[in-house]
Amino acid sequence: MKTKIKQFFIEHFPVMIQFSMAGTISSVFYYLLFVAFWQWGHINYQVAISLAYLLSSVVHFLYCRKYAFQSHQHAMLGQAMKYMVMLAINYGFTITIVHFLSASYGVSPYLSVGVSIAVTVILGFLLANYWVFKVQKAYSANDEAF
């Protein structure tokens, strides 16, 4: 098991670094937008999260597509549709985590958003790498058949 995990990190390290850069950039943007909407704009925290999430997701998609997964030469529409499904999944986790921590345990929405970011980074990488930006291998006559 340790060998498989080690091999996974070795094989995916460059992509993980770029994905981390995309995540860092979009997370900082997301958090700043959340603070601006919630604290300064006096918008309900769930609406503030939603607006910040939407705007920072555009930045994340474009960065991941071009730099992290280098799949900008492939059809954007298909990737964008899959990315939107991934966003819906991550959004569901975000709202659930923030609501659960804030409403059930009285944790500040600031901290709750931070916790939700940590969870959705892992989930997002797995979905992006293995589904959203996965490039289908073109098989040749020399490839082994199943």
Return per-residue pLDDT of the chain as tens, 146 residues.
778 878 877 888 888 899 989 989 988 999 999 999 999 999 999 999 989 988 998 998 999 998 888 887 888 899 999 999 998 998 899 999 999 999 999 999 999 999 998 898 889 999 999 999 987 655 444 444 43
Q: Exposure string (b/e) for 15-52, b if CB count within 10 Å is 16 or more?
A: bbebbeebbeebbebbbebbeebbeeeebebeebbbbb
Instruction: Assign 6 to helix, strand or coil.
Output: helix
Report in angstroms the alpha-carbon separations of 20 from 15, 53, 56, 111, 121. 8, 17, 14, 20, 8
- pLDDT value of residue 136: 62
**The model's pTM:** 0.69
What pLDDT score was predicted for residue 128?
Answer: 93
Alpha-carbon span 8 to 4, nearest angstrom: 6
- Tokens 């700043």 locate to 32
